[in-house]
Amino acid sequence: MAKLDHPEITPEMNATIDDIIARHINAPGAVIPVLRMCQDVVGYLPVELIDYISKGLNIPKSDVYGVTTFYSLFSLTPKGRHKIRVCLGTACYVKGIKEVMHRIGNQYKIDDGETTEDRRFSLEAVRCVGACGLAPVLVVNQDTYGDITPEKVIGVLENYE
């Protein structure tokens, strides 16, 4: 199969992607796991990659694209080095996460779903991370911060360069 032509996909990444596709070919329901694994490799899903997966799995491009845009896990645009996930579950909402979100947006000039120009942060509002006992909750990469307030949040984020 022709190699992937994309500035952000290295030959090593390409090899890993080929391996993922080879392991899932003909498996029923493989699209979602393959997209997830490929996104873990590249960081997001550029259109060229979606194209490549569709050819590799022999599934119409429209189907793969349809799945990609349906699930919130998948992103067609690059993400920041640090992913800020703000929990917008009910408990966090009642406890004032809206103000926290507002504060982050104001400080780094990003809205929900956006990435800062220097690709330092991407901001995402997520639905309930299931840590309601700590509400309001902020997750940066894999680190969970409970009881977050507009006053504390910038201090926390400044630790991520």
Partner 1 sequence: MNQVRLELMLCGGTGCRASGSDPFKDALAAEITRRGLDDEVRVIETGCNGFCAVGPVMLVLPEDVFYQKLRPEHVAELVEEHIIKGRVVEKLLHKDPVSKKRIPLMHDIPFFSNQMFWAMRNKGYIDPEKIDEYIARDGYFGAARALTEMTPEEIIEEVKISGLRGRGGAGFPAGVKWDFASRAKSDTKYALCNADEGDPGAFMDRSILEADPHAVLEGMIICARAIGASQGYIYCRTEYPLALERLDLAINQAREYGLLGKDILGSGFDFDLEIYQGAGAFVCGEETALMRSIEGKRGMPRPRPPFPAHKGLFNQPTVLNNVETLANIGQIILHGGEHYASVGTETSKGTKVFAISGDVNNIGLVEVPMGISLRKMIYEIGGGIPKKRKFKAVQLGGPSGGCVPEHLLDTTVDFEEIAKVGAIMGSGGVIVMDDQTCMVDMARFFMDFIQEESCGKCTPCREGTRRILQIIDRICEGKGVPEDIKILEELSSVIKSSSLCGLGQTAPNPVLSTLQYFRDEYDAHVYEKRCPAKRCAALLEFKVDTEKCTKCGLCYKACPVDAVTWKKKEVAVIDVEKCIQCLSCFSACKFDAID
Interface positions with partner 1 (CB under 8 A): 28-33, 35-36, 63, 66-67, 70-74, 88-91, 93-96, 98-99, 102-103, 106, 126-135, 137, 142, 144-146, 150-151
CA-wise closest residue to 136 among 148, 124, 123, 153: 148
CB of 5 to partner 1, least distance (A): 26
Exposed, middle or buried by CB within 10 Å (0-12, 13-18, 19+), for 148?
buried
> Tokens 């189907």 correspond to what residue?
63
CB of 141 to partner 1, least distance (A): 12
Instruction: Kindly tell me which of 65 and 116 has the beta carbon lying closer to partner 1.
Output: 65
d(CA 122, CA 46): 17
CB of 95 to partner 1, least distance (A): 7
Residue type for position 41: V
> Tokens 């493989």 correspond to what residue?
30
Instruction: Kindly tell me which of 10 and 141 has the beta carbon lying closer to partner 1.
Output: 141
CB of 115 to partner 1, least distance (A): 18
